Chain A
Amino acid sequence: MSDAQAIEPRPLACDSASDKARRRVKRRYAADRRLQAYGIIAIALAVGLLGVLITSLIVNGLPAFVQTKADLAVFIDAAKVDAENPAGGNYRALVREALEPFVPADATDKQKTDAAKILTSDAPYIVRDYILKHPEAIGKTVALPIPLSDPFDQLNKGVIPMDVDALSWSQVRYFERLRNRGVIVEDDGRTGLKLDVYVDPAKIELGPPPSGDFATLARDGLQAYLPDVHDTALFAMLADDAPEAISARVAADPALIGKTIQVILPVSPAVTALAEGKSPKILNPRFKADQIETFEALKAKGLVHAPFNWELFFNADSRFPERAGLAGAITGTFLMLLVCFGLSFPIGIAAAVYLEEFAPKNRLTDLIEVNINNLAAVPSVVFGLLGLAVFLGFFGLPRSTPLVGGMVLSLVTLPTIIIATRAALKAVPPSIREAALGVGASKHQVVLHHVLPLAMPGILTGTIIGMAHALGETAPLLLIGMNAFIPSVESMGVLEPATTLPTQIFSWADSPERGFVSRTSAAILVLLAFLVVMNLLAIVLRQKFERKW
């Protein structure tokens, strides 16, 4: 470096041929590439996560778009359904009779009741509703597709298995520990546990024959080997006749009472299978063997099928997942967005037009502007609390209604609409205003005839984005109770309790039934579809009405 300076006392300001310059160029290119790479990584990460979300939603939600049904031939017995008063018929009995051919002839009443549980609990009402619509069917046999109850629906879709592991994960762990202790032995063709058991004289009466709580002795004996385990599942690993191994020994030699003896306690068949290296299975406890028999009989006749689940869209909510649909939530969302739009669109535009076109620029309008921008950042749950305190508490408006929901959500959307409208108004070129003023248009004519129509695409885009924001809001709606249970769409109105898509998702996500798990994902997909449609609408409107000047 110093040599180079010595040779060239006045180096060029930018010598592109020098090593230093070349290194600098190389570093600059590397920095450019690095910056690009960061961007690509960030986008890939975002797209990947979104893909994971959507994929998991689709995988979880797809089963909810089909519903397993059984085409049941129901004989509408005129003796059970009065043609004069069809609503009061004994439809429960009709459904049970319709299942009659699929249960064993010698089935008990209990078995028949169990068999009826294959079908949804709403089955009698489905038949009733059909008869109310078609009274001429009384005395005839009608084939009705009846949804299966949730466990059988899930079984048919393969979401839950027919057989489950007989032993729990912790039982397998206990087995491993016992085997490591070397107490698992083969004896007399049975697998058993070779344990030291203390025959507690406090628990055993000296016969003859000796009697007492041998089961507790066996449990205590087993417990002594795994003293840290406090789990009844441990004792379930013993065979039912394990206490008899002790009682037989004690009966043979009563002198053993009060002593510690070594016995071989037989284990349950599942543990035996495990010891043989198999993985033992039992029937899923949700099902009963009789029910499976009836279900298989229905299937064998080709009566069970899984068509597209239109009821997901046309049914309202239900306690039974196989009958629950989104119609109530969609209607409630629609009514609520209607109220929200009706309030926030005119108020937002009026406020924005005043602030942008008429208001003098002073401290007060600056303050208002800053506060509107701040409101856009306020968490929506705060608006929910406000709605709870003011709309419900102070004004006493009816709770859980789309009216109040719409009012609260218009608070959420107003800042968005005002900001978007002001931006759209600002984007209208001043030359248009001057042109209109120049031909003698008054201020309101300039705004109404020229500025607003030109700003409309931007305003509509902002409004739709605000509405889409409102569509997904959950927290403020929960606070004003808009997660009502709505079993029927007919009674819905602006002043009636309602639920919405996001709160319906919230309620379903809280429900334990397997059917609601997939329905939650399906409802999220429906909500996302609405959001996508609304955003597409915003794009289409913007492109359609965009004008050049």
Chain B
Amino acid sequence: MEAKVAARPVVRVQMPVPPEATEGMLPAAERELKMTARDVNVWYGEKQALFDVSLDIFDRSVTALIGPSGCGKSTFLRALDRMNDVIEGCRMTGEITLDGEDIYSPEVDPVQLRARVGMVFQKPNPFPKSIFENVAYGPRIHGLAGSKAELEEIVIKSLTRAGLFEEVKDRLNESGTGLSGGQQQRLCIARAISVNPEVLLMDEPCSALDPIATARIEALMEELKESLCIVIVTHSMQQAARVSQRTAFFHLGKLVEVDDTVRMFTNPADTRTQDYVTGRFG
């Protein structure tokens, strides 16, 4: 393989691979399967967006979904917490499991599922309410807090885990929309983790942020992955290389390749992956 890559006259983009990204990956035997997708097809109306996608997602790690725009990676992410259900004319076949349980089976309540599988969106979207209310909303509707004190504890814990508490502790009653973009996104992460999800889906969480805010979010993901399963959609290959342990490359609705991040960026099996990560297209 090395020889083949070397034989190709390719101008390679230097991929900074941080040491923890290679070291952070557990040996294959110790990996704990969290979610699986088998032969997932998704249609928006007449248009098919995903073709037979099968992917394993492991616990306590970051899985990055990369690929050019319109390749179906966001669609796949939204299929993982059934957010596609609310889109008119969207239908799917195949099987997605969470801890071995089919999340599309009729017994599963999508609302309950979304409490177990949290989501952070591309654009920071705090509710136009106070910072406290933003974080307290999830625990409140799921009945996680028995008392006001417990609720406060959950809010403080979530904000602390999202690395935001120190910055906003004096203005918890001010509007969440008054924060800066990076703070808003961390508030959204705090909101997502306030209901103790097992999986956190992040749809390009840094695309609207400046590099400093991006670095903070990435550091936060590093911490959160110790207790959570994180799936992130990103357009930035550097980001995928920095934060993820596994990377899946989507192209034209198909899953082209999935492997450990280090191998994906250094020694991909598919030429399309290589072309993409080296900046030939996309």
Contacts and interface: CB of A to CB of B under 8 A. Distances in A.
B115 interface: yes
A440 B114 contact: yes
A442 B111 contact: yes
Contact of A434 (B83, B126, B138, B142): B83
B194 interface: yes
B114 A439 contact: yes
A439 B138 contact: yes
B141 A438 contact: no
B186 interface: no
Contact of A435 (B115, B125, B141, B142): B125
Given A440-B142, A441-B111, A442-B111, A548 B137 contact: no
B128 A454 contact: yes
Nearest to B201: A438
B86 interface: yes
A22 B119 CA distance: 61
B37 interface: no
B195 interface: yes
Contacts of A360: 88
B231 interface: no
B125 A437 contact: no
A434 B121 CA distance: 8
Contacts of A435: 121, 125-127, 188, 191
Given A361-B88, A449-B137, A549-B128, A439 B83 contact: no
B207 to A, nearest CB: 14
A21 B112 CA distance: 70
Interface string B124-141: 011110000000011001
Contacts of B195: 439-440
Nearest to B113: A440
Nearest to B119: A438
B119 A450 contact: no
B216 interface: no
Interface in A388-445: 429, 431-443, 445
Interface string B72-112: 00000000010100101000000000000000000000011
Given A431-B125, A548-B128, A440 B138 contact: yes
B137 A437 contact: no
Nearest to B139: A439
Contacts of B86: 433, 437, 443
Contacts of A440: 111-115, 138, 141-142, 195
B214 interface: no
A449 B138 CA distance: 12
A438 B118 contact: yes
Contact of B141 (A443, A445, A454, A548): A445
Nearest to A547: B128
- Most B CB atoms within 10 A — which of A360, A438, A548? A438
Nearest to B140: A449
B177 A439 contact: no
Nearest to B177: A549
A439 B81 CA distance: 11
B83 A436 contact: no
Contacts of A450: 127
Contacts of A443: 86
Nearest to B89: A361
Contacts of B119: 434, 438
Nearest to A360: B88
B157 interface: no
B34 interface: no
Contacts of A449: 137, 141
A450 B86 CA distance: 16
Nearest to B85: A437
Interface string A528-549: 0000000000000000000111
B192 interface: yes
A547 B138 CA distance: 22
Interface in B28-81: 81
A283 to B, nearest CB: 74
Contacts of A433: 86
Interface in B158-178: 177
A498 to B, nearest CB: 42
Interface in A235-294: none
B92 to A, nearest CB: 17
B137 A439 contact: yes
A434 B125 contact: yes
A506 to B, nearest CB: 46
Nearest to A435: B125
A439 B115 contact: yes
B123 interface: yes
A431 B195 CA distance: 19
Nearest to B188: A435
Interface string A458-472: 000000000000000
A431 B121 contact: yes
B114 A438 contact: yes
Given A449-B137, A450-B127, A439 B88 contact: no
A341 B111 CA distance: 35
A194 B115 CA distance: 113
Nearest to A439: B138
Contacts of A454: 128
Report, nearest first, the 6 A-B pairs whose CB atoms are least far apart: A440-B115, A431-B125, A439-B138, A438-B119, A440-B114, A435-B125
